Amino acid sequence: MKLDQTIELSDKKYQLQELSEREIAKKYGDKGLAVIVEISLAE
């Protein structure tokens, strides 16, 4: 996926979570420097 790329989501409930810089570094390393939010399926 590229920055500013539009994706189509299915008809389900999603959860948006804003990540701190520390969480981004821990989860994604250097590749996550552009990550601001994470989208996951809501449970």
For the chain, the average pLDDT equals 77
Quote the pLDDT of residue 24. 81
**DSSP letters of 4-24?**
T---PPPSS-EEEEE--HHHH
Quote the pLDDT of residue 39. 74
Where are the chain's structural domains?
A: 12-43
- Give mean pLDDT, residues 8-36: 79
**Model pLDDT for residues 8-21, shown as the tens digit of each residue:** 888 888 888 888 88
Q: Torsion angle of alpha carbons 28, 7, 1, 30, nearest 10°?
A: -20
